[in-house]
Amino acid sequence: MKIDGFQPHNIYASFSKEGKEEKSAQTSAEQTGSTDRVEISAEAADLGEAARLSQKITDASNETDRTERLAEIKKQVQGGTYRVSADKVAGSMLGRRIDRQV
C-alpha cells in the first residue's frame, strides 16, 4: 500500500502545536483563577443509584439462574442422561475462532 504525500515531520509538527495550545490554555486558566466544575443534580444521582441497584438485581438473578442450570446439568451427568449437542459445540468453537480473527 502506498500513501502519497506522507511526511512524518508533519505529524510531529501537528502534535507540537497541540501541546503548545494546551499549555497556553492552562496558563490562561491559572491567570484568571477559573476552574472547571461538574455538578450532578439530585435527580441524576437518583437515576445513577437506581441503575446500580437494577444491575445488582440483574446480576443476582443471573447468578441464581446459572446455579440452577448447573445443578440441573450435574444431575443429568450423574444420571447418565446428559447429552451434548455437537452442533452447539461446533458453533461455539467456530464463533470464538471468528471473534479472535476479527
Q: Where are the domains of the chain?
A: 40-102
Q: How far apart are alpha carbons 43 and 66 in whole angstroms?
A: 34
Q: What is the pLDDT of residues 15-34, one digit of tens each?
A: 665 555 555 556 665 666 67
Q: What does the angle CA 99 – CA 83 – CA 96 come to, to the nearest 5 degrees?
A: 5
Q: Distances from the Cα of 62 to the Cαs of 53, 55, 56, 58, in angstroms?
A: 14, 10, 10, 6
CB-CB contact of 82 with 73 (8 Å):
yes
Q: What is the pLDDT of residues 43-78, one digit of tens each?
A: 999 999 999 999 988 888 888 888 999 999 999 999
